[in-house]
Structure 1
């Protein structure tokens, strides 16, 4: 499932997309503003290991 949100931020367009990139990650969002694009990912484990950060 792909989700895309586009909003106007001042005189630039802010685009947020999820569901198409980094599918091996537990969560991923591609954010674009003007000529800049940022990929944010997160991975997690269902159970914590004692003694690990």
Structure 2
């Protein structure tokens, strides 16, 4: 299911859309403002590793 919301901020459109991209991720949103687009994704594991004492970050 694709969900999209859009509003005007100043003279530009601001939109958020989910359900279209990165379907293997646990969550994904495409955010647009004017000519700028950002895809934000999140993936989680069902179980935490017991011996892991840091939070891995991938960019």
Which TM-score applies when normalising by structure 1?
A: 0.92
Structure 2 spans left out of the alignment, 5+ residues:
55-59
Q: Which has the larger radius of gyration?
A: 2
Runs of 4+ in 1 over 2 A off after TM superposition: none
The structure with the largest strand share of the pair is 1
Which TM-score applies when normalising by structure 2?
A: 0.83
Query: Which of structures 1 and 2 has the larger relative contact order (alpha carbons within 8 angstroms, sep 6+)?
Result: 1
What's the Cα RMSD here?
0.8
